[in-house]
Amino acid sequence: MSFLEPLFLVGLLALAVPPLIHLMNRRKAVKVPFPALRLLHESNKRTAQSIKVRQWLLMAARILGLLLLVLAMAKPFVLSEQGIAADERLPTANVIVLDDSASMHQGNDWKNALSAAQDHIDKARPWDELALLTTSGRALDVDRLSDKHTAIEQALAELQASELQGHTLKTLQDAASVLKSSELPQRKITLITDASHIAGEINTQKTLDPVLGARTELLMTGGDNPTAHPENLAITQVHYEQDSTDATQWKITASVKNTSKKPFNNIELRLLFGEDILTAGRIETIGAGEETEHTFMHKQETQLTTTARVELVSQDLYPLDDTHHFIFRTRARINALLVNGETSSIADEDEMFFLSRALNPGRSTTEGIIPQIITQERLIKEDLAKFDAVILANVPRLSQGTASKLERYVKSGGGLLFFAGDQIDINAYNSTLKGFLPKPLRAVKEFATREDPDAPVKVTRFGTIDPKHPIFRAFSLPGGETLQSAEVFSTMLFDPTATPDSRTILFFKDNSPALLEKQVEKGRVLFFATSADMEWTSLPIRSAYVPLMQRAVQYLARRSSNLGEKDSRTGQVLQLEVGGLAKERVVINGPLGRDDTRERFVLEPQDGLVQFRPIHAGAYEVWAESDQKDKGTRLEDLNFAVNVPLEESQLERMPEQELRKWLQDQEHAKQGDEASQGTDRTMERRVNIWPKLLFFFTLLLLAETILGTRRTLAQKVFGHSDMDDNQAA
Amino acid sequence: MDHHKEHIMSSEASTQNHQHYLDPSTLEALGSMQIRARALADGIIAGLHRSPHKGGSVEFAEYKEYSPGQDIRHIDWKVFAKSDRLVVKQFEDETNLRIYLLMDGSGSMDYISEDAPITKLRYSAFLASTLAYLFLRQGDAVGALSFDEDVKQYLPASTRSSHLEDLFFMFDQLQSSKKTNMNSALRTIAERAKPRSLLILFSDMLDANDEILNFISVLRSRKFEVALFHIMDQAELDLPFEGLTQFEGLEGEDGLLVDPDDLRVQYQELMQQHIRTISAACERGDVEYVRCTTNEPIEETALKFLRGRI
């Protein structure tokens, strides 16, 4: 034990005072003659023992009380880990970083987290400033430091664990930024977490830069005996395809991963369409850390678009990844009619060779873009209504009948794509197709032949794109620059006169149009100013060719960026291309079937695109609304599903000591060995003993008062006196 | 006749009459014992006038109206006090009452507390003087005996008016000494007094033990009429002292250093028990018992006794 004010120990000399006073009082006793001494002696004999005990107790209480008072004034303390450092006594700005990621749904972790946060707030002193941040990044009104603790308590009471991925490291740095705004002398970050998947974050980003610049405190939510390796199964993905031999049979395959350290046996799953259980399945065993697939077979004879899910029958510790939502639609494929203007027996010289493979690389006949190639002679006979898009590549000319058929097709909502070529009769095109060509054709311009050795300097290349156009949004991603690397040997020139409802969405380097678009009533027409094959351009062998062609066809078929086919996760910013389907307003509702967590996004399309961030897992439906119509239009084809992030399924907890050490390393920049090895007295964790001493001193004071109070005084205060009795007698 | 009456005047009644009585502390200033006794007697007589106690009888046959010239010693003053009529007692038997006043001169009787007007001994003296005056005036024979550890002085009973001077002198000169021997005094008076005498004992009874109390009862059986004035100082009842005190005895007892607050309750219980013992003994022995404190007016104390005899 040590003392903060040891000089006060001199007061121990005062312990001699009570005995001295007692001795002095004896000498100062008043002498009084009294006749009834016999009775006094008798009384004294009867009470001597109790008087002696009381007097000894009184003396002991006075001496002990003085001792406690002197010691308390000397401020004794002991060093202990349970103690408080000098710094901690100062007013503190404290940001609470609360892990509300999806993994907090496991067991009692969320309940423990709320309880820990509430306890922490209760212990805060009125002059401490608090703020609350969540690792999911959800905005709260209490993300700024304030001494109004009730606001944080209220926010906490309304908070639920999210279905989002947690970003603990980023949130810690946000917390450090918040603390910089405080003027209080002490700063602290309190992290409340289950420490799941945080090891992964730390492995990716070893240290925080800049450092936190504040003390850290860690509160784990796993309870007294947290399970380091929680047992968990997760449905990671679901995909479906039509059976190649029977178009009514569908294979729906679910991938199930065992994220724990021990195997799982007899795993039961089931497939639901809406709320109806269609079929069940079983996986015999999944080893630790392994992933297995299970395929459901489903017969679907009619066209259908519906919400669906695969779920584990028995939910485990972490239920959110036991269900995977998806949209099942039988019309996932795009039927494209390719009209070949120049057939060839030599494969790579065929006009449609590259295009057909770009549209359907896997040669699937059941999903994606299913091209059907015909010659132009058959075009007049084809039922164009079966097709989502019609592509004409280097077709020389069209009869009026065929032109009219194509015009009707486009006006009723179809998509039409023209590729230029050496076969095209410019006058015929301008004559028969002038109603829906984006611009009248002018002439072919040849920059170089393929064999020309100077071709690399003579050719033109693709230039600027309209980055907001749905076709070209993908080209902001890595790989998009290969478009500009393609060589263009010849191009079709267009009449420069402006044409209503037409626009250029891709230019050549010389600013001549490379890809034009025209809206024709409900449909769209694209005209590509170079060929679909290698004759006029090297684009077909560039990596940009495949996505460009696919996106162009998807755009014509109004299926672009359909989220239904994508694996979307909560917390991601999703983009939905609504194109011409919704012009004024898009309303997104979901998750369907859950009343507790309904979300509703009301969005205005910007360039045919809406952007939003769902935070709950489930199926969502899309509506188009306008002021002209009372009722919205359901856009079933745009319905989509969102699932919880796969990262949250990794429930393995980082050991507390390890995490604590890592946090401490992030507190301050290293300042040299001397500073780290020196003992900072302000950081000594002291347990002050003097408050307890003062408490006992107070008790002794009370005891001394009770023991030392004269009976006559007590009787005066509380009435009734024995003297009154005597007088009455 | 049941003479045991316990006369303990209530403080309320005492207050009502105080205004008519002499403050005991002023008695010393009055001069001789005769003057004091007379003054006290006047107050007593006046008190008797106001007394609700009427009637009663003594050993006489009848009353006769007083005629001027008759011996005024036979006037029944009690009747006069009650009815303002001067009447003369006609005795069946012309035997006068003999009264002996027994004065305790022990050391404890010389005690006076801070709030008391006079010592217990002086109080006894004044009280005895007054009674002697009244009794002699009505024709009774009065004697006295003072004692401490021995019998100090004895005056036989007499009705002569000059005997009153002797009595006053004796009472005025009363001194206390350390020890007392009440037993010896009572035996002495039992031998000397004639039967049917009234023995009035003035004492604080602090030394009274069972033997003494029994003997008092025995006196009654010997045809003596006994009355006890139990005279106390209020401080002896209350033990009002504060702070560490060295108590010293008045009769040579060992002293005691103690904080009175520590044993006050116990002491008061013992004192009350002592009083009850004495009172019970008097009741058993058919002894008239009057308890008083020195700050009560002497007239009141006397009236307590006299009213019961009317």
Q: Percent of chain B having pLDDT more than 70?
A: 80
Contacts of A722 in chain B (CB under 8 A): 264-265, 268
Please determine, for residue A475, whether its predicted confidence score (pLDDT) is greater than 80: no
Please indicate whether, in this complex, the C-beta atoms of A30 and B244 are within 8 angstroms of each other.
yes
Check residue B278 and give its pLDDT: 92
Does residue A504 carry a pLDDT above 60? yes
Nearest chain B alpha carbon to A727: B11
- Predicted TM-score (pTM) of this structure: 0.53
The separation between the first and the last C-alpha atoms of chain B, rounded to the nearest angstrom, is 13
Give the mean pLDDT of B117-135: 91
Beta bridge partners, A360, equal none
Picking from B110, B120, B267, B277 by the largest number of A CB atoms within 10 A of its own CB, the best residue to mutate is B267
Q: Report the residue of A23, A31, A40 to disrupt the B interface, i.e. the one with the largest count of B CBs within 10 Å.
A: A40
- pLDDT recorded at residue A111: 93
Do A39 and B246 make contact, defined as CB atoms within 8 angstroms?
no
Contact residues, B window 117-146, toward A, CB-based 8 Å cutoff: 120
Q: Which residues of A are less than 8 Å from B111 in CB distance?
A: 33-35
Q: How far does A44 lie from chain B, in Å, by closest CA? A: 6
Closest listed residue to residue A507, CA positions, set A459, A458, A466: A466
pLDDT of residue A579: 66
In whole angstroms, give the CA distance from residue B308 to residue B229: 14
Best of B262, B289, B296 to mutate (most A CBs within 10 Å, chain A): B262
For residue A41, what is the nearest residue in chain B, using CA coordinates? B256
Nearest to B101 by CA among B226, B9, B246, B269: B226
**Candidate ranges A89-103, B2-16, B131-145; pick with highest mean pLDDT:** A89-103
- Give residue A63's Cα distance to chain centre: 65
Higher pLDDT, A674 or A384: A384
Give contacts of A42 with chain B, Cβ < 8 Å.
270
pLDDT of residue A442: 94
Is it the case that residue A505 has pLDDT exceeding 60?
yes
Confidence of residue A168 (pLDDT cuts 50, 70, 90): very high
Q: Cis link prior to A591 (omega < 30° from 0)?
A: yes
Contact across the interface for A37 and B253, Cβ inside 8 Å: yes
Residue A139 burial (10 A CB sphere; 0-12, 13-18, 19+) = exposed
Query: Which CATH number is B97-309 given?
Result: 3.40.50.410
* Residues in chain A, overall count: 729
pLDDT of residue B10: 41
Chain A residues within 8 Å of chain B (Cβ atoms): 25-26, 28-44, 46-47, 51, 54, 710-712, 722-723, 725-729
pLDDT of residue A161: 92
**Rg (alpha carbons) of chain A, rounded to whole number:** 42
**Any chain A CB within 8 A of the CB of B57?**
no
B307 part of contact set with chain A, CB < 8 Å: no
The pLDDT of residue A396 is above 60: yes
Kindly tell me if the per-residue pLDDT of B125 is higher than 60. Answer: yes
Residues of B in contact with A21 (CB under 8 A): none
Q: Torsion over CA of B13, B17, B19 and B25, rounded to 10 degrees?
A: -90
- What value, to the nearest 5°, has the Cα angle with vertex A435 and ends A433 and A440? 65
Give me the interface pTM, i.e. the ipTM. Answer: 0.78
More confident residue, A676 or B137: B137
Which has the minimum average pLDDT: A94-98, A437-441, A454-458, B161-165? B161-165
Q: pLDDT category, A726, cuts 50, 70, 90?
A: low
Angle at B150 between CA B149 and CA B156, to 5 degrees: 140
Least confident of A91-105, A488-502, A682-696, B133-147: A682-696
Mean pLDDT of A307-315: 91
Q: Using an 8 Å Cβ cutoff, are A214 and A672 in contact?
A: no
Buried b (16+ CB within 10 A) or exposed e, A329-346: bbebbbebbbbbbbeeee
User: Over the stretch B263-302, which tens digit does the pLDDT of each residue have?
Assistant: 899 999 999 999 999 999 888 888 889 999 999 998 888 8
pLDDT band at B39 (very low <50, low <70, confident <90, very high): confident
Q: Can you give the pLDDT at residue A688?
A: 82
pLDDT in tens, A677-713: 444 555 567 788 888 889 999 998 898 888 888 776 7
Q: What residues of A are in contact with residue B258 (Cβ under 8 Å)?
A: 40, 44, 51
What pLDDT, on a 0 to 100 scale, did the predictor assign at position B14? 44
State residue A474's pLDDT score: 58
Q: What is the pLDDT of residue A682?
A: 52
Helix, strand or coil, per DSSP, at residue A649? helix
Distance from CA of A721 to the nearest CA of B (A): 10
What are the two backbone dihedrals, phi and then psi, of residue A596, each rounded to the nearest 5 degrees? Answer: -80, -20
Nearest-angstrom CA–CA distance, A487 and A294: 47
Nearest C-alpha neighbor of A106 from the set A650, A538, A682, A727? A650
At residue B207, the pLDDT reads 84
Q: What is the pLDDT of residues A603-626, one digit of tens each?
A: 998 877 889 999 999 999 998 887
Q: Measured between beta carbons, which residues in chain B are less than 8 angstroms from residue A46?
A: 263, 266
Q: What is the pLDDT of residue A336?
A: 93
Strand B62-65 and strand B87-90: the pairing is antiparallel
pLDDT at residue number A480? 54
Q: Which of B108, B244, B267 sits opposite A40 (nearest CB)?
A: B267
pLDDT band for A580, please (50, 70, 90 cuts). low
Rounded CA separation B288/B303 (Å):
13
Indicate whether A729 pLDDT > 60: no
Position B87 scores a pLDDT of: 80
The token pair at A624 is: 């188009």
pLDDT at position B243 over 90: no
CB contact under 8 A, A40 and B247: yes
Give the minimum alpha-carbon distance from A45 to chain B in angstroms, rounded to a whole number.
10
What is residue B86's DSSP assignment? -
Residue A49 banded pLDDT, cuts 50, 70, 90:
confident
Is residue B93 pLDDT above 50, yes or no? no
- Cis link prior to B195 (omega < 30° from 0)? no
The reply to whether residue B108 touches residue A35, judged by beta carbons under 8 angstroms, is yes
- Give the chain B residue nearest A31 (alpha carbons): B246
Q: Do the chains contact at A33 and B248, CB–CB below 8 Å?
A: yes
Place of tokens 């195997």: A263
Among chain A residues, the shortest Cα distance to B253 is held by A37
Q: Verify whether the Cβ–Cβ distance A51 to B263 is below 8 Å.
A: yes
- The chain A residue lying nearest B258, using CA atoms, is A44
Tokens of A325: 């939502």
Q: Is B267 on the interface with A (CB under 8 A)?
A: yes
Q: Please tell me what DSSP assigns to residue A103.
A: G
pLDDT digits (tens, 9 = 90+) for B185-196: 888 888 888 878
**Most confident segment among A115-129, A324-338, B62-76:** A115-129
Backbone angles phi, psi at A274, to 5 degrees: 65, -125
Write out pLDDT tens, residues A192-237: 999 888 888 888 877 777 777 788 888 888 766 566 678 899 999 9
Burial group, residue A385, by CB count within 10 angstroms (0-12, 13-18, 19+): exposed
Query: How large is the average pLDDT for residues A719-725?
Result: 53
Higher pLDDT, B5 or A439: A439
* Domain boundaries defined on chain B: 2-93, 97-309
Residue B7 has pLDDT above 60, yes or no: no
pLDDT value of residue A216? 82
Cβ of B11 under 8 Å from any chain A Cβ?
A: yes
- CB contact at 8 A, A597 and A625: no
For β-strands A640-643 and A568-569, DSSP reports them as parallel
Answer whether residue A596 shows pLDDT above 90: no
A29, B242: Cβ pair inside 8 Å?
A: no
Task: Give percent above pLDDT 90 in chain A.
Answer: 43
